[in-house]
């Protein structure tokens, strides 16, 4: 912590901690459109997902997704095929090699998530979860009103119903 941290007011200390935690989260996470994150999502889906569903879930632009998907396809980790339901869409499926790499990435993520909160007891985790949900619900109303809907938030830890 910076020396002046101890002279800050409580709200400034909280903001500084959120900033530091956000920085750490960006540093250790897979990132919005990373190859590992895409493999994990495809693994979770089980069969296939359309490219538009994937970009929506990732919260990235279609052009960004196309670039990463091209690399994954080139590496033999995914297959892109025209949808049989709607030829304007592309279905994305994992290859066997992609599924194996996706399982490795999911296990590494799970281990990392366990480590991230290992300094807290189960009761402390529950208290932190409840407080963060309360803050997030307030900030949804206070600061996110009128923003374009973020469909991945409700499903993937960006808001909505969490457990």
Note the pLDDT of residue 146: 66
Note the pLDDT of residue 163: 34
Measured over the CA atoms of residue 105, residue 108, residue 110 and residue 116, the dihedral's sign is negative
**34 vs 38: CA distance, rounded Å:** 6
Q: How far apart are the first and last CA of the chain?
A: 31
Per DSSP, the residues of 38-81 read HHHHHHHHSSEEEHHHHHHHHT--HHHHHHHHHHHHHTTSEEEE
List, in sequence order, every beta strand (DSSP E) within the chain.
48-50, 78-82, 90-94
- How far CA 3 is from CA of 7, 14, 16, 43, 105, in Å, comes to 8, 15, 13, 45, 38
Cα angle 127, 156, 129; round to 5: 0
Region at 95 (left for phi over 0; alpha for psi -120 to 50; beta for the rest): beta
Residue 158's contacts (CB-CB under 8 Å, 6 or more residues apart) are 150, 152
- Sequential pLDDT tens for the chain (163 residues): 678 899 999 999 999 999 999 988 888 876 555 889 999 999 998 878 998 899 888 888 888 888 889 999 999 999 999 888 888 888 999 999 999 999 999 999 999 999 999 999 999 999 999 999 999 999 999 998 866 555 444 444 444 433 3
Note the pLDDT of residue 127: 97
Q: Do 102 and 90 touch, CB atoms closer than 8 A?
A: no
């Amino acid at each position: 912590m910076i020396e002046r941290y101890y002279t800050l007011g409580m709200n400034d200390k909280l903001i500084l901690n959120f900033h530091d935690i956000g920085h750490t989260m960006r540093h250790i996470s897979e990132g919005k459109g990373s190859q590992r994150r895409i493999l994990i999502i495809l693994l979770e889906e089980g069969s296939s997902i359309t490219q538009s569903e994937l970009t929506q879930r990732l919260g990235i632009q279609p052009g960004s997704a196309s670039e990463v998907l091209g690399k994954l396809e080139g590496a033999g980790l995914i297959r892109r095929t025209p949808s049989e339901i709607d030829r304007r869409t592309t279905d994305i499926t994992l290859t066997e090699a992609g599924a194996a790499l996706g399982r490795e990435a999911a296990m590494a993520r799970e281990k990392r998530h366990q480590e991230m909160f290992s300094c807290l007891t189960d009761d402390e985790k529950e208290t932190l979860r409840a407080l963060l949900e309360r803050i997030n619900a307030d900030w949804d109303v206070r600061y996110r009103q009128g923003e374009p809907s973020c469909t991945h938030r409700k499903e993937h830890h960006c808001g909505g119903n969490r457990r």
